[in-house]
A and B are shown apart, each in its own frame.
Chain A
Amino acid sequence: MMSRIIFQLRALLVFELLRLVKRRQFFLTLLLLLLPTGVGVLAFLIEREDIERGVVYAFSENYIHELDENKLTIRLRRALEREGLSLSDEVEVEVVEKGERFVPSSPEFLGKFSLQYIKDLERGVLPEAILQVLRKRLGRPFLGKGKERIFLSYGRKEGWFFFLGMFKFKLIKQGDGISLYREKVNLYQDPFANDGRVWRLRDLQRGWQMRFKRQHDSLHWISPQISGYFFQQGVFVGIGKFLFLQLLLPLLCLLYATSMFRDEWEEGTLVYLLTVPFSRFWIVVGKYIGVILLLTPLFFASLLLLFLTLGVLVGGVFLSADFSLFFEFAKSLVFGVFAYTAFFMLFGLFLKRSTVAGIFYILLIELGLGSALVALQKLTISYHIANLIQREHLPLHSRKLLKEVLYEGGGNSLTLLVGVVVVGLVVSAVYLRCKEWEVERGA
């Protein structure tokens, strides 16, 4: 009995896959799934110069906080000693670009630099960018330890990078201090000029304000390699969330799930499936799996293409470092395909204009509620899909990146998504069992 069902399911899957890949919407799907990589390449071309100059890309809060500074200091000291330097040296350095002077104060301060330096240092290599800075020491101490004044400025609230959750900063010496500000500053504020109050930052995102408070005594400065690395990770996370999880995933699942039965009925081929000794429950399951088998590899390939392309563009140095981040997104996409397909299959069965209704649903509920009404976020599938991304096993900065752009709810998202799949399949099967498709066609 079971082997018979397997034969039948296998045949149905072949039917379904052959049908789907011959449709025009399949080519549209391929084009749409190239879009994320295109956006990634475009972002790289726009930011290429800054990446190569070592401009800091910070997508989340300070990735320095959780370092074991002692450990880093020791390693840094060893590296510095190999270069004929010592931690007690005070250095003044110059930023090459624009002729502006850049002073990271002391080597101890350098020790608070990026987490990624640890990786370089562990390999016994002092990042080339640091060496460039140190070799340009001018012999004049800048500021004493613990007295760094860092002015943070910000600007350009608008712009697509803002919406991608990506913030680009530059370190520039200003007066006797160092400013960390976003490029193309059009609004400069010095929070410390007003008794250290940060009220002027109220119009910024809450999260950013909090980060600001915590990291005001920190300074980022990274090498071009690190800059590229953060670019890669940041763009990947941004595109992963906004283009994949929130747009392409629901949209493509909608296109395929709503047409699952409707198209076959309109073409007159559904009758060939419904007039064989095969229960309608298994027909629902077979067609559902067919869509899953088509979309999952496509999404996986598209995500991988984006990840690798970004890695290659920024030099491929850290290409293999954070595949865990890629796999977390890939996993979420797979669960997303399962849940959205089951959900939109119901649209296709119950609604006449199911695709239009589905697009409205995506815009109003998934994107609308998910973005605007925090309390209602948990009603959206995208919220629970994003929740599936496990953060604890990821590198620190990836965790922070995700925290910046994705919900962090925990809870029973997996259970809920499995529930959506089960309900979708069962209700579809019951409906298909009771539906008289031929009534619509007439006598």
Chain B
Amino acid sequence: MSPVIVARQLGKWYGDIVGINGVELEMEGGIVGLLGPNGAGKSTLLKLITGQLRPTRGTIRVLDEVPWGNSKIFEKVGYVPENDLVYAHLSGFQFLHLMAQMYGYSGGEARQRAERALEEVGMSSHQNKSIASYSKGMRQRIKVARAILHDPKLLILDEPFTGMDPVGRKHLMDFFRRFVQQGERHILFSSHILHEVEALTHSFVLIHKGKIRAVGEVDEIRSLMNRFPHRIYLQTASFRELGSRLVFWEEVRGVEIVAEKRAIVVLAQNPSRFYQRLPSLIVELGIEVEEIFSEDDNLEAVFRYLVKK
């Protein structure tokens, strides 16, 4: 089976500003998360994939077709844009019914498809309410419903979980899993939140500053991340005592004292092992740790590692 998406040396420049550059990508199928911080180039890549932007250089093929200027590609691709849905004067059903007709379905079939899509995203009970009255999460679900009206082979979603409540998020995630289980269906979605992507898939594409930094399974990326020291922040009244002990640990590369905050920042080579040993030490010293967190839990830090790599 040929890859769903193939990009070769794909680049997009906005004048002097790089959107993405030298992107090499082969998406085989299933659910793939496009992970990257804000401004990484996720939306640019998704817009290139959906033919809304023309590549400045390189090539891209989606389901064996060139997407730029090719409206027919949307017969096989469903797209959920990042833009909010502002057809405030329509109800959810009216919007989807008209959209189904825009996909070329006759009145009766369009109605059936609209109803089915509403059911899939759990919005049937709200279908006759005005879109203006919907919460952000409900509008997100209507956007997804619009993208699946025509049973696409590939679903492209730009930040689909933004503003969603936990119930709605779970509902959508369950739907996405069902969607790909139907066979020959694929999803590429973008997010800047690590756990959001992890909750849905193990396949990542990591993008940062317009370049693909890593592609693979979540375990590969985690081990990759473990090769680089994490910065762990510990706040305690006995910060000097704690620091003096930690500095002798094998997995600790350095300790920085932040006296004004009565804290230390530990540079841990193997964070997993560090977290294993730390509770015992705290008990042994009989100290109270007020706060502990890893600065590296945020995605930006992960990408800093990968860029350095």
Q: Verify that A and B bind, or say they do not.
A: yes
Interface residues of A (CB under 8 A from B): 3-5, 7-8, 10-12, 14-15, 18-19, 22, 267-269, 271-280, 433-434, 436-439, 442-443
Contact of B81 with A275 in the complex, beta carbons under 8 Å: yes
Hey, which chain A residues are within 8 Å of B85, CB to CB? 269, 272
In chain A, what residue has the closest Cβ to B83?
A268
Contact of B105 with A276 in the complex, beta carbons under 8 Å: no
Q: How far is the CB of A157 from chain B (nearest CB, A)?
A: 51
Q: Is B128 an interface residue (CB 8 A)?
A: no
Contact of A443 with B98 in the complex, beta carbons under 8 Å: no
Contact of A269 with B87 in the complex, beta carbons under 8 Å: yes
Q: How far is the CB of A228 from chain B (nearest CB, A)?
A: 45
Hey, which chain A residues are within 8 Å of B75, CB to CB? 277
Determine the distance from Cα of A423 to Cα of B131 in the docked complex, in whole angstroms.
Answer: 37
Q: How far is the CB of B190 from chain A (nearest CB, A)?
A: 12
Known: A277-B104, A443-B19. Contact between A14 and B14, CB under 8 A? Answer: no
Contact of B102 with A273 in the complex, beta carbons under 8 Å: yes
Q: Is B99 an interface residue (CB 8 A)?
A: yes
24 examples of A-B residue contacts, CB within 8 angstroms: A3-B106, A5-B104, A8-B102, A8-B104, A11-B98, A15-B87, A18-B89, A19-B89, A22-B89, A269-B83, A269-B85, A269-B86, A272-B87, A274-B71, A275-B79, A276-B74, A277-B74, A277-B75, A277-B103, A436-B52, A439-B53, A443-B12, A443-B14, A443-B44
Contact of A276 with B103 in the complex, beta carbons under 8 Å: yes
Q: Which of B44, B86, B103 contacts A268 (CB 8 A)?
A: B86
Hey, which chain B residues are within 8 Å of A269, CB to CB? 83, 85-87
Determine the distance from Cα of A437 to Cα of B81 in the docked complex, in whole angstroms.
Answer: 13
Determine the distance from Cα of A276 to Cα of B148 in the docked complex, in whole angstroms.
Answer: 11
Determine the distance from Cα of A310 to Cα of B10 in the docked complex, in whole angstroms.
Answer: 67
Contact of A277 with B99 in the complex, beta carbons under 8 Å: no
Determine the distance from Cα of A423 to Cα of B14 in the docked complex, in whole angstroms.
Answer: 30
Determine the distance from Cα of A65 to Cα of B165 in the docked complex, in whole angstroms.
Answer: 83
Q: Which of A3, A272, A437, A443 contacts B99 (CB 8 A)?
A: A272
Contact of A280 with B71 in the complex, beta carbons under 8 Å: yes
Q: Which of B20, B71, B86 contacts A276 (CB 8 A)?
A: B71
Contact of B86 with A433 in the complex, beta carbons under 8 Å: no
In chain B, what residue has the closest Cβ to A276?
B102
Q: How many residues of B contact A (CB 8 A)?
A: 40
- Counting chain B CB atoms within 10 Å of each CB, the highest count among A10, A22, A439, A443 belongs to A443
Among B40-61, those with CB < 8 Å from A are 41, 43-44, 47, 50, 52-54
Among B1-54, those with CB < 8 Å from A are 12, 14, 19-20, 39, 41, 43-44, 47, 50, 52-54
Hey, which chain B residues are within 8 Å of A437, CB to CB? 52
Q: Is B269 an interface residue (CB 8 A)?
A: no
Q: How far is the CB of A313 from chain B (nearest CB, A)?
A: 38
Hey, which chain B residues are within 8 Å of A8, CB to CB? 101-104
Which 3 residue pairs of A and B lie closest in terms of their CB atoms, listed nearest first? Answer: A268-B83, A11-B101, A443-B44
Q: Is B291 an interface residue (CB 8 A)?
A: no
Q: Which of A15, A267, A277 contacts B71 (CB 8 A)?
A: A277
Determine the distance from Cα of A18 to Cα of B41 in the docked complex, in whole angstroms.
Answer: 35
Hey, which chain B residues are within 8 Å of A14, CB to CB? 98
Determine the distance from Cα of A10 to Cα of B97 in the docked complex, in whole angstroms.
Answer: 12
Contact of A442 with B14 in the complex, beta carbons under 8 Å: yes
Hey, which chain A residues are within 8 Å of B87, CB to CB? 15, 19, 269, 272
Determine the distance from Cα of A127 to Cα of B103 in the docked complex, in whole angstroms.
Answer: 66
Hey, which chain B residues are within 8 Å of A12, CB to CB? 102
Determine the distance from Cα of A436 to Cα of B51 in the docked complex, in whole angstroms.
Answer: 9
Known: A8-B101, A11-B98, A438-B52. Contact between A443 and B41, CB under 8 A? Answer: yes
Q: How far is the CB of A202 from chain B (nearest CB, A)?
A: 61
Among B98-156, those with CB < 8 Å from A are 98-99, 101-107, 110, 146, 150
Contact of B104 with A7 in the complex, beta carbons under 8 Å: yes
Contact of B53 with A275 in the complex, beta carbons under 8 Å: no
Known: A7-B101, A11-B101. Contact between A274 and B69, CB under 8 A? Answer: no
Q: Which of A267, A272, A280, A438 contacts B47 (CB 8 A)?
A: A438
Contact of B101 with A10 in the complex, beta carbons under 8 Å: yes
Contact of B81 with A271 in the complex, beta carbons under 8 Å: yes
Known: A268-B83, A274-B71, A438-B53. 15 other contacts (CB 8 A): A7-B101, A7-B110, A8-B103, A11-B98, A15-B102, A19-B87, A272-B146, A275-B50, A275-B79, A276-B99, A277-B75, A278-B102, A436-B53, A438-B52, A442-B14
